[in-house]
Chain A
Amino acid sequence: MSLVLLTPACSSQGLTVDVYAGSSLTNVLQSAEQMYESRNEGVDIRLNLGGSNTLSRQIAEGGGADVFIPADAGVLDDLPAGRVGGEPIALATNRLVMIVPAGSDIPSAGGEPTPTEVLDWAGSLARCATGVPCGDATDRWITASSGLPSPGTITIENNVRAVLTKVRTNEVDAGLVYSTDALVAEGDVEVVPLGSEGPHTSIVGVIIGPTDPDGDSMGRMFLDYLASDEGRALFRDAGFGQP
């Protein structure tokens, strides 16, 4: 980063902050990036979005992240101790919901179908793999609510957006995603809440170190922005819960 500063002839004479984030944060971080960059001229927020575990592995292998925002705080446990610079900052929460393609005709005893009724009806289900945050949340829910019926066909995806796409394109009858993902696909999918057993995840951001002091402070400033009232509002608009 300092190298960029020392070469004024370079056209991109700005500061770059590399933000690695789970794919469920795609939309909210894209909005935040736009706001922040328009506010701070010369600062370039560079998003690397993907499965949180994959990103965590990239960081462990020496990937050049300044900030890491996984889909669940638990992912941070896998990071080598030396790479987390400072305490995690709580940004938002998310929760797991069931979604079905819009217009699905699910037989229900009450007015709204329950998760059990959906699983009884569904021939196919998409879910995240065990090991990725949304998959671990799914496992927690299945364990907590014993005796759930199992659809005949279960496709296991490596990140939550792949599950969303499968439901959105109506290639499966149901899926388990974060409530914020369901919001992104509003109109294409309908949400079936998991009720009180529905697991929550907490979204935190950390500075990844050791990097150069400039990078740390730039990353810290972006994290502070996300945790500010304005940042919180962006998370709220995207359907996240407050930390």
Chain B
Amino acid sequence: MKGLRLVDVAIERDEFTIVVSATIEAGTTVAVVGPNGAGKTSLIETIVGFSQATAGVIERPEGSIGYVPQDNLLVPHMTIRDNVGFGSGVAGPDLDRIMDELLLADLARRRPADLSGGEQQRAALARALVRRPTLLLLDEPLSKVDVELRRLTRTVIGEWAPPDQILLVATHGADHARECDVVLALEAGRVVALEPATVVAARAPSRWLAEFFA
């Protein structure tokens, strides 16, 4: 199994139930878009395994999963370097390199609380990337990263991706969505679009999507 398959996956939320069926081929980048509260984070956390689906089947690609949640989830009492290298399968030279590339080397011995929001996001991203995950899920990963570092950060994400990597990124940026192969649009728990950005923009299946790409 190299792709990601969601078969009638149902996720209970207070207001509605998210229902998703989707097949995403290896090597695809997916932008997950939708209004606030549409269920983007719930969907991502279910794919990662942080929450349980109430029904359906999730088939994940083989290999490791990388996840950068909105709250980063860095371990508070560990140094940045220990956080990035936490867990199994991280080679020393890789750790040094990712710290350099995401401009974290000078912050290596600090604790997460001493870092700015953008620096914390870069650290959480480094922790995900250094494992070269076959499935990478980013929940608004650059929201707090300084504008001048966003380009660099995206380049680093690309450099560290293994060839077959599936990338799911929840984003509020239309430009960012256009750069992805596919847009998965959620509205109140329903998938309203799962197709390339150009198609979605042209078809505009909902008012929200029309305004999003306008």
**Are any A and B Cβ atoms less than 8 Å apart in their complex?**
no
Which B residues contact A (CB, under 8 angstroms)?
none
